[in-house]
Amino acid sequence: MKTFSGSSSMFAIVLSFVMGGLLVGCSCNHQVAINVLAKPTQNGNGVTGGSITITGSSFNPGSLLEISYAGIPNRPNPSPTQAGRPQVQGDGTFSFGETFNCTTDDPSEANAKVLVTVRDPKDGCFSDSNVTASKVWVCTGGNKP
């Protein structure tokens, strides 16, 4: 689990580049946290894809979060979620799940890290976590993307 808080101009520039938008007046003054669980989907031969479950805390109640992935093999970076934007509950927590098919069968991609980023657009606060690509995005056992 990673956490972040702060509002330096370098942070705003980097996050603006990562998220593909312009941040003005980023004012994160509290820590937000996420936990990412990756679970592969398998058939009798091997991995065919998988699911990601993201939970988080200390976000702004009612906010619609932005989720993106960087480093998915054979996908543009960053890739926004295709499953919509989760809404933060009244206590600042959220839970979100997304299912993926594998994107490569290249074994050299197995140890690649996919960066999962959750950003609260109300104040610019974000948290990120790495997932090993082989857990979800690398086909095995002769399965093809």
In a domain, 92, yes or no: yes
Task: State which amino acid sits at residue 9.
Answer: S
In a domain, 61, yes or no: yes
In a domain, 141, yes or no: no
Cα separation, 57 vs 63, whole angstroms: 12
Q: How many domains are contained in the chain? A: 1
Task: State which amino acid sits at residue 73.
Answer: P
CATH assignment at residue 53: 2.60.40.10
In a domain, 145, yes or no: no
In a domain, 10, yes or no: yes
Q: Which residue has the tokens 């959220």?
A: 94
In a domain, 42, yes or no: yes
CA 23 to chain centre: 19
- For the entire predicted model, the pTM comes to 0.79
**pLDDT tens digit at each of 145 positions of the chain:** 444 333 333 333 333 333 333 333 345 777 899 999 999 999 999 999 999 999 999 999 999 999 999 999 999 888 888 888 999 999 999 999 999 999 999 999 999 999 999 999 999 999 999 999 999 999 999 999 9
Domain residue limits at 77 = 2-135
